[in-house]
């Protein structure tokens, strides 16, 4: 009977060691993946700021000329690419994602030759300004590369409120 308890205890210890052996590398892989995603967010943040700055310099009240079509299409593609990098996962910034989709919609209409109304121009400029400040806030409030992941996935991170505040502010 004592031998059976001893064998049972050894088996439990072996199983626990096996679980720890399997879980530890998995946790390490998760940490590495989160770090890679954080670098992607950091890279995308710089790209987004540059693209937004270029779009803010554009006068959307003026019709798009044939000479400028390639430039606006390039900026639109950069914005689409960057938006994909930032929002490809399950991030907590749903309102921000929605505003980015609105900008893409305005750009698509503008590139197709549809004139934007005064309200549309004001809205796209408002959204672009908010994005400009959001990208600056990420640089100011995110302490390190790894924290970008938390800023995008943690409801409790201070950037959640900063993003909401920037989107609500009138520029």
pLDDT in tens, 88-100: 888 999 999 999 9
Q: Are the C-beta atoms of 72 and 104 separated by less than 8 Å?
A: no
Q: What's this model's pTM, rounded to 2 decimal places?
A: 0.82
**Does 128 score more than 90 pLDDT?**
yes
**Does 130 score more than 70 pLDDT?**
yes
- pLDDT tens digits, one per residue of 98-111: 999 999 999 999 99
Cβ neighbourhood burial of 55 (10 Å; 0-12, 13-18, 19+): buried
What is the residue-averaged pLDDT of the chain?
A: 88
Evaluated on CA atoms 105, 106, 108, 113, the torsion sign reads positive
């Amino acid at each position: 009977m004592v031998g059976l308890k001893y064998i049972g205890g050894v088996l439990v210890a072996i199983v626990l060691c096996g679980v720890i052996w399997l879980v530890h590398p998995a946790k390490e892989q998760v940490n590495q993946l989160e770090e890679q995603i954080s670098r992607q967010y950091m890279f995308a943040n710089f790209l987004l700021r540059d693209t937004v700055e270029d779009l803010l310099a554009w006068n959307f009240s003026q019709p798009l000329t044939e000479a400028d079509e390639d430039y606006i299409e390039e900026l639109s593609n950069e914005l689409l690419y960057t938006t994909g990098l930032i929002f490809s996962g399950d991030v907590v910034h749903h309102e921000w994602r929605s505003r980015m989709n609105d900008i893409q919609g305005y750009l698509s209409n503008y590139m197709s030759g549809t004139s934007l109304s005064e309200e549309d121009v004001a809205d796209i400029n408002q959204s672009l300004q908010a994005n400009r400040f959001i990208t600056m806030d990420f640089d100011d409030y995110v302490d390190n590369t790894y924290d970008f992941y938390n800023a995008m996935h943690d409801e409790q991170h201070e950037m959640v409120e900063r993003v909401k505040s920037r989107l609500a502010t009138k520029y």
